[in-house]
Amino acid sequence: MARVHNFNAGPAGLPLPALERAQRDLLDFDGTGMSIIEHSHRGKAYEAVHNEAIGLVKDLLSVPDDYHVLFLQGGASQVFATLPMNLLPAGKSADYLVTGGWAEKALEEAQRVGTARAAANTAVGKSFTRVPRPDEITLDPAAAYVHMTTNNTLFGTQWHGLPSVGGVPLIADMSSDFMWKPFDVSKFGMVYAGAQKNIGPSGVVVVVIRKDLVEAGRKDIPIIFRYATHAANNSLYNTAPTFSIYLIRNVLAYTKDIGGLAEIERRNRRKASLLYAAIDENPEFYRGPVEKESRSTMNVVFRLPSEDLEKRFVAEAAKKHMVGLAGHRLTGGIRASLYNAVPYESVETLVSFMKDFVKTA
Amino acid sequence: MARVHNFNAGPAGLPLPALERAQRDLLDFDGTGMSIIEHSHRGKAYEAVHNEAIGLVKDLLSVPDDYHVLFLQGGASQVFATLPMNLLPAGKSADYLVTGGWAEKALEEAQRVGTARAAANTAVGKSFTRVPRPDEITLDPAAAYVHMTTNNTLFGTQWHGLPSVGGVPLIADMSSDFMWKPFDVSKFGMVYAGAQKNIGPSGVVVVVIRKDLVEAGRKDIPIIFRYATHAANNSLYNTAPTFSIYLIRNVLAYTKDIGGLAEIERRNRRKASLLYAAIDENPEFYRGPVEKESRSTMNVVFRLPSEDLEKRFVAEAAKKHMVGLAGHRLTGGIRASLYNAVPYESVETLVSFMKDFVKTA
């Protein structure tokens, strides 16, 4: 069957050329007579792929020399635990900016490990419709770090500027908007992202972390959870998820080929503008609950006049080969995720469908 | 290029039909118009694959109803830490049977988490040439559990019977011999295995664990590390490594097709017999350091009269399309791993080469 229009929230669509390359390589990688999956993680063939993937992250983001790029397992949910295990010593507290369900989970897990508090919380009931204004953030100047979630997949909000944190390291969960545009790594102590939205498959999380934070990390935790262990071993302390990292390589090599993150940003802004315009053109029918200044370029959420209409919308869109449009099970409504690999044509197809749907509803 | 003879220690060769199926599915899974990699882990298409993979583990091993089958991330090295975090309460001690490098690492990580001791240790210097005799094991009857490593990848030893542990739960790291034959799951409190030797790619670890142990597990640890979390959520608490689990499905479905684990055992024994016979036929030239009763069916290690000859052996074998024959960087020598997917023909090719090599050396 022809490619569908994939609006999944993650795992999400990947660039077709990156998948085609994987398909070609799957039985015989680079003329080696075996799949990349079958190569030793300590062999030259895989090592080259591994280092190319790390190099592409560094290159595309202009990562400064005083940062490590790590590939870890366990997803962002595991970083929720390993972050305070590494960087939150006894006697210190960490500040969390709570802007959605994932930020809440990050805070809760940190509180199981040590002392952590919400330095801002924009919840209204169980919902979030915006990120905090500067005057709503009350930081602890002695905090071990400040944690933020740059994009909130469930509620469709996104930070469009960074909070002022003084000298406290800023740590960002970028799982759902990592590499959607270039950004200044040096503003952060650490950023992390599950690969399965913008840059690859599930099963690997990218961590970009300042070397001094790695070195200062706690040593009274299992060796496998120490960022220092993975930094010292180039993310090959134990067997890496080789195929997942290989696929990241394919996606990032393609990203570089088409012009890097500046081009990716241009495409993403164009897609988000088109879709938000379609929502705003019919404000009686399509209601965007998110305040405009906090709208996400990655996850566009909106409601229809009734849940019945929302169900019909999802079902009829599916007939036109658009998938992944149902909102999160906790929030309901419609959610269209516009990650890096979603083509402009898919958004055009959706917008055209939305215009027709208003007429026939 | 044609398929090489892959003797890698892991990640290792996979059955060609399982890879071919993955290649066919890679752009369009089951007529859905997208790759399995691009499917949501919460969608019906992936969920069916996920449950089929779990069901195949249960089916092929006749897993009793009072056990969970979990798919976790982080590899066996992470289980070295999460095992004592879950099952070693304060005030208790755990017993470890130390038979190789991985068993040592498991013990060391447990000692970072709580109290653990070596209840046996067959090291001679830095080497291991056998598993312990029953009278060499001194168990603590009050231990929280006894940990063993059923097959020792580095040193080529394997347990061919189980230690008597009384009522103490027996926990086995089966990373390098999981499913090499049928076994009685009910003898164990828990078994675990990185997938990348016998059943799939790297990036996922299979855990088979008695339900009462999960329930009794410690609650004073991060929620992501609790086996109870993953058991309660069918290994979908957070985003699973979907493609890795899909590939396990392919490998296990193929395993079932060819006759299940009884047939796999028959093939594995035939391969190991052929190779050990070739070693024993030329005892002056090929020296197997492992005591015969402890020889591994999975990793066959042997030495040649000199390191120069070993280097030449590996290099000339590579010219004949045999790869992965160099011993572990810590041990040197030759190691041929004969995991489930290695064809008999590959072992025949190796044995024929070995006979020629003796003559020309």
pLDDT value at A331 more than 90: no
In chain B, what are the domains? 16-257 (3.40.640.10), 260-360 (3.90.1150.10)
First-to-final CA distance of chain B: 29
Could you give phi then psi for residue B113, rounded to 5 degrees? -95, -40
pTM (2 d.p.)? 0.98
pLDDT of B83 strictly over 80: yes
- Tens-digit pLDDT profile for residues B104-152: 999 999 999 999 999 999 999 989 999 999 999 999 999 999 999 999 9
Which residues from chain B sit within 8 angstroms of residue A20, using beta carbons?
27
Q: Which of A25, A95, A173, A177 is catalytic?
A: A173
DSSP structural state of residue B320 = T
Which residues contact residue A161 at a Cβ distance below 8 angstroms, ignoring those fewer than 6 apart?
Answer: none
pLDDT band of B320, cuts 50, 70, 90:
very high
A102 is catalytic: yes
Q: What is the pLDDT of chain A when averaged over all its residues?
A: 97
Would the CB atoms of A23 and B19 count as touching at under 8 Å? no
Q: Does residue B149 come out as left (phi exceeding 0), alpha (psi in the -120 to 50 range) or beta? A: beta
Chain A residue closest to B107 (CA)?
Answer: A222
- Which chain A residue is nearest to residue B318, measuring alpha carbons? A32
Q: Which pLDDT score, from 0 to 100, does residue A328 have?
A: 87
Optimal mutation site among A37, A105, A112, A226, interface B, most CBs of chain B within 10 A: A37
User: What ipTM was predicted for this assembly?
Assistant: 0.97
Going by C-alpha positions, the residue among B96, B145, B104 that lies closest to residue B126 is: B104
Average pLDDT estimate for B290-311 = 97
Which of A32, A35, A221 to mutate to test binding with chain B, by most B CBs within 10 Å of its CB? A35
* Locus of tokens 């190991």: B272
- Return the exposure string of B22-36: e unless at least 16 CB atoms fall within 10 Å of the residue's CB, then b: bbebbbbbeebbbbb
Q: How confident is the model at residue A329 (pLDDT cuts 50, 70, 90)?
A: confident
Told to judge if B44 belongs to the known catalytic residues of this protein, a careful annotator would answer no
Structure confidence by residue, pLDDT tens digits, A249-284: 999 999 999 999 999 999 999 999 999 999 999 999
pLDDT in tens, A313-328: 999 999 999 999 999 8
Mutation target to probe the A interface, by most A beta carbons within 10 A, among B6, B28, B50, B243 is B243
Residues A60-77 as b/e (b if ≥16 CB within 10 A, e otherwise) read bbebeeebbbbbbbbbbb
Rounded percentage of chain B residues whose pLDDT exceeds 70: 100
pLDDT score of A167: 95
Catalytic option among B95, B173, B177, B271 = B173
**pLDDT category of residue B77 using cuts at 50, 70 and 90:** very high
B159 classed as catalytic: no
Classified as helix, coil or strand, A341 is coil
Residue range A81-104: mean pLDDT, rounded: 98
The whole-number average pLDDT for the span B200-215 is: 98
Q: Which listed residue (B102, B177, B180, B271) is catalytic?
A: B102
Question: For a pLDDT cut of 90, what percent of chain B falls above it?
Answer: 97
Please report the number of interchain residue pairs, chain A to chain B, with beta-carbon separation below 8 angstroms: 210
Residue among A31, A34, A73 whose CB faces B6 most closely = A34
Pick the catalytic residue from B25, B159, B177, B197: B197
Nearest-CA distance from B139 to chain A in Å?
25
Q: What is the dihedral of CA A58, A62, A64, A70, to 10 degrees?
A: -20
Q: For position B331, what pLDDT does the model report? A: 85
pLDDT band at A163 (very low <50, low <70, confident <90, very high): very high
Question: Does A1 have pLDDT greater than 80?
Answer: no
B38 neighbourhood in chain A, CB within 8 Å: 6, 8, 11-14
Of all residues in chain A, the percent with pLDDT exceeding 90 is 97
Q: pLDDT tens digits for B216-264? A: 999 999 999 999 999 999 999 999 999 999 999 999 999 999 999 999 9
- Is the pLDDT at A68 greater than 90, yes or no? yes
- Judged by CB atoms closer than 8 Å, whether chains meet at B113 and A6 is answered as no
Digit-coded pLDDT (tens) for A95-133: 999 999 999 999 999 999 999 999 999 999 989 999 999
Give the model's confidence band at A19: pLDDT under 50 very low, under 70 low, under 90 confident, else very high. Answer: very high
Owner of token pair 């691009």: B38
